[in-house]
Amino acid sequence: MKKQIFNPILPLDVCIPDGEPHVFGDRVYIYGSHDKEGGETFCMLDYTVYSAPVDDLKSWRKEGVIYKATQDPDYNERPYMYAPDCVRGNDGKYYLYYAMSGPFGQGGYFGPIQVAVCDTPAGEFKYLGFVKNPDGTPAQDFVCFDPGLLNDNGRIFLYSGTQYQFEEEEDFFENEESIKSEMTMFNRSREEILEKAKKGSVMGPIVMELEDDMMTLKGPAKHLIPYNIKGTSFEEHPFFEASSMRKVGDKYYYIYSSQQNHELCYATSDYPDRDFTFGGTLVSNGDVGFNGRTLDDKMNMTGTTHGSIENINGEWYVFYHRLTHKSDYSRQACAEKITINPDGSINQVEITSCGLNGGPLVAEGEYPAPIACNITNGKMPHGCNRIFTDSFPNVNNDGDEKYIDEICEGTLIGYKYFDFKDVTKVTVRARLDVNNNDPVDADAKLEVRLEEKGPAIAELPVGGVDKTWKDFSVEFDAVNGVHPLFFVYHGKCRIQIKELIF
């Protein structure tokens, strides 16, 4: 069987979210923050980069730790490095931009944007300084968060910002509670908050142009898109965070996470710093919006997303992340191929298990169960800077063992897509949920489907589960062609699934 790759695209114990893909030379690099598997808060680990040849996206290698949080002078106050981006400067060096934060995002909006530099795209970066005004003071007229960079034929643009709803309240200027909340969140004085609000807000997506030293502003920072978007094309998908910019031909594509907080959206303009019009949704980590799917019918736990698009060897891809471990703190990198239409539009893509594979996975051999692109009990939550304690199906681990956990009555587990060639049998490796005391249900079973809401092609009995891994198989009429594969669980006990075997 030929070499394959599936989502998530990196090893299952690697949690690198907020991915910014960049082609430098003959390799594509993913720069992202770094969650700990089963972590207690965001971005607990140092920046680690993976790369792949542009002509072989199935062969990712670990480049190693490229920058440590302890290298930042603010480490003792804010020890976690949030979503970074990297750009090649006009001097040929590589510049890494990031912001520091405390636990659970506390203080993440307080500091400036920091800069590190290296002679190579994946070497050991060294701290350089912070983005500053021409007089040397930190460039913090606006909230600094989630930097994104673009080298546009020698002009260096830096994008940043976040946006909340405080100032959209009609009584904002008289609402002391909202004013104080904004002051606390952004570490700003009352006077600064109100003065900026009268002119357009300290929040919102911001653009800055940098001098060749890669740190000094050429001119004042300004809004890329106005804070108040009522009556504009952005009204249904307002900016939240995760600024990223790409140039496609003569057009500029601004990628961002909307306030829906599960989707990456895009906007386009003829200019890198103004006049953007909303384009659409690129991807949702719950498939919300794809083919009209509603939030109530989302296909996974949804939550924070961040990523961008990149042209790799003549093809365009979108990189995003998914959530695991019932939290926002263990996010994994995924990718899907996209198409930029002749009119410049991009249709929303479906999340799959076979994103960078160049086609469906071969329905042959053994696959880890956690590559499922859909895991839902029909009432999945939306992540919100927390670890959930209530029970619902999720990707989890016990040391090196990775599995789908807390599978309960009605849970749907989906894989898209497999190429079937006379397949007549499927096996799952399952066990009783070891963290639960449910008695064994002798009648427990998995419906096997080729459509999400289609008829079962077989019923796979799993009634003999105990707390050790066992293989359960079922045979059916030969299946041919490219199909999704779904399992729907029915049983009174909770189970875990580790592998899927053809």
pLDDT recorded at residue 60? 98
Residues 6+ apart with CB under 8 A from 176: none
Of 37, 85, 146, 241, the catalytic one is 241
pLDDT band with cut points at 50, 70 and 90 for residue 1? confident
* pLDDT tens per residue, range 34-45: 999 999 999 999
Alpha-carbon gap, residue 35 to 263, rounded angstroms: 20
- CB count, 10 Å around CB of 81? 27
Averaged over 76-97, what is the pLDDT? 98
* pLDDT tens per residue, range 153-162: 999 999 999 9
What does residue 91 show for φ and ψ, rounded to 5 degrees? -90, 0
> Is residue 11 scored above 90 in pLDDT?
yes
The DSSP letter of residue 471 is: E
pLDDT band with cut points at 50, 70 and 90 for residue 478? very high
> Is residue 81 scored above 90 in pLDDT?
yes
Partners of 101 in beta bridges = 80
Which residue, chain included where needed, has tokens 């006077």? 191
Task: State the pTM of this model.
Answer: 0.97
Q: Cis ω on the peptide bond leading into residue 8 (within 30° of 0)? A: yes
pLDDT band with cut points at 50, 70 and 90 for residue 192? very high
* pLDDT tens per residue, range 299-329: 999 999 999 999 999 999 999 999 999 999 9
% of residues, the chain, pLDDT over 70: 100
Which residue ranges make up each domain of the chain? 20-163+203-338, 361-501
Residues 6+ apart with CB under 8 A from 177: none
* pLDDT tens per residue, range 233-291: 999 999 999 999 999 999 999 999 999 999 999 999 999 999 999 999 999 999 999 99
> Is 176 an active-site residue?
no
pLDDT recorded at residue 233? 97
% of residues, the chain, pLDDT over 90: 98
Averaged over 224-229, what is the pLDDT? 96
* pLDDT tens per residue, range 382-425: 998 999 999 999 999 999 999 999 999 999 999 999 999 999 99
Give the closest residue to 133 by CA, choosing from 225, 224, 213, 227: 213
SS3 145: coil
203-229 burial, b at 16+ Cβ within 10 Å, e below that, comes to bbbbbbbbeeebbbbeeebebbbebeb
262, 284 contact by CB (below 8 A): yes
> Is residue 2 scored above 90 in pLDDT?
no
Of 18, 74, 146, 441, the catalytic one is 18
pLDDT recorded at residue 402? 98
Give the pair of three-digit tokens for residue 291: 């083919």
* pLDDT tens per residue, range 332-356: 999 999 999 999 999 999 999 999 9
Give the closest residue to 307 by CA, choosing from 298, 294, 317, 299: 317
pLDDT recorded at residue 438? 85
Q: How many CA atoms lie within 13 A of 158 on its CB side?
A: 37
Fold of 20-163+203-338: Tachylectin-2; Chain A (2.115.10)
> Is residue 203 scored above 90 in pLDDT?
yes
What are the strands of the beta sheet with 315-323, ordered from one edge? 308-312, 315-323, 331-338
CA terminus-to-terminus distance, the chain: 13
> Is 18 an active-site residue?
yes
Alpha-carbon gap, residue 230 to 259, rounded angstroms: 14
> Is residue 56 scored above 90 in pLDDT?
yes
Give the pair of three-digit tokens for residue 346: 């991009």
Question: Across the chain, what does the average pLDDT equal?
Answer: 97
SS3 141: coil
CATH superfamily of 361-501: Galactose-binding domain-like (2.60.120.260)
Q: Which helix (H) or strand (E) holds 74?
A: none
Alpha-carbon gap, residue 318 to 265, rounded angstroms: 11
6, 353 contact by CB (below 8 A): yes
193, 309 contact by CB (below 8 A): no
